[in-house]
Amino acid sequence: MENGRIPRHVGIIMDGNGRWATARGKERSYGHRFGSENVSRIVEHAFNSGVYALTLYAFSSENWARPQKEVDELMKLLKTYIRKFAKKFQKSGVRLCVAGDKQGLSDELIQEINKVEEQTSSHGEHVLNIALNYGGRQEIVYAVNKLLEQGKNVTVDGILSNLYTANCGEPDLIVRTGGELRLSNFLLYQGAYSELYFTDVLWPDFDENEFDKALEEFGKRKRRFGKVQ
């Protein structure tokens, strides 16, 4: 599953953009802009550190309930960054996928997503999943329905192989920034045996050094997967 002591797949709940901006007397969207820049920095660092796959929680199924202005700003940022990543990953080995329900997103955003997913589908060095309009419970229902549509029995492995993250397996480590101690509907099924790492650091401040601290902590964990060692 993990490669030596480096987790193979890391999921990140990027929390704290709003508080980061408020602390500077700015609007929440200011924090989302810095948070987006930080995504580029951490993706690069994680892949350089030997992490194979990242799943980043960018927009949950529940985030639509935020003020329309903030939703619009986030959607705009996501479109911009998906475009940026498409360009950047064109000639690299990174496969970019969106994990979540594409229905409900704008046609323009769906087009961008389809384009980059197609462009990078054969890339095998790394996987970057952007969880967008994503909910862990909704994902389980989606996977079960896919099995039923195919006339298959519903099994643990069957569900796993129909989740959005089937492209990179179960997360070894789930990180949450911003001080809250919960999963907020993120990777509920595939995270059953993930190691959890929580930090008070707000997402825009979560730099390479903070990511390394999470890796270091992961390296100390004894993973038993329910067995005795």
Supply the residues annotated as catalytic.
15, 63
Q: Which is nearer to ligand FPP, 17 or 120 (CB)?
A: 17
Element (H, E) at 57: strand 53-60
User: What's the token pair of residue 153?
Assistant: 């029995």
Q: Which is nearer to ligand FPP, 7 or 178 (CB)?
A: 178
Nearest-angstrom CA–CA distance, 107 and 144: 26
Single-letter code of the amino acid located at 157: D
Nearest-angstrom CA–CA distance, 193 and 221: 12
Tell me if 177 contacts ligand FPP by CB under 6 A: no
Tell me if 203 contacts ligand FPP by CB under 6 A: yes
Tell me if 96 contacts ligand FPP by CB under 6 A: no
- Which of 7, 100, 171, 178 forms a contact with ligand FPP (CB under 6 A)? 178
CB of 77 to ligand FPP, least distance (A): 5
Q: Which stretch binds ligand FPP (CB under 6 A): 16-24, 97-105, 145-153, 211-219?
A: 16-24
Alpha helices (H) in 49-123, listed in sequence order: 68-89, 107-119
- 8 A C-beta contact, residue 116 and residue 86: yes
Using CB atoms, what's the residue nearest to ligand FPP? Answer: 18
Instruction: Tell which positions 40-59 bind ligand FPP, by CB under 6 A.
Output: 56, 58
Tell me if 131 contacts ligand FPP by CB under 6 A: no
Nearest-angstrom CA–CA distance, 43 and 13: 13
CB of 144 to ligand FPP, least distance (A): 27
Nearest-angstrom CA–CA distance, 86 and 45: 18
Nearest-angstrom CA–CA distance, 44 and 161: 27
Residues in touch with ligand FPP (CB under 6 A):
14-19, 28, 32, 35-36, 39, 56, 58, 63, 77-78, 81, 130, 178, 203
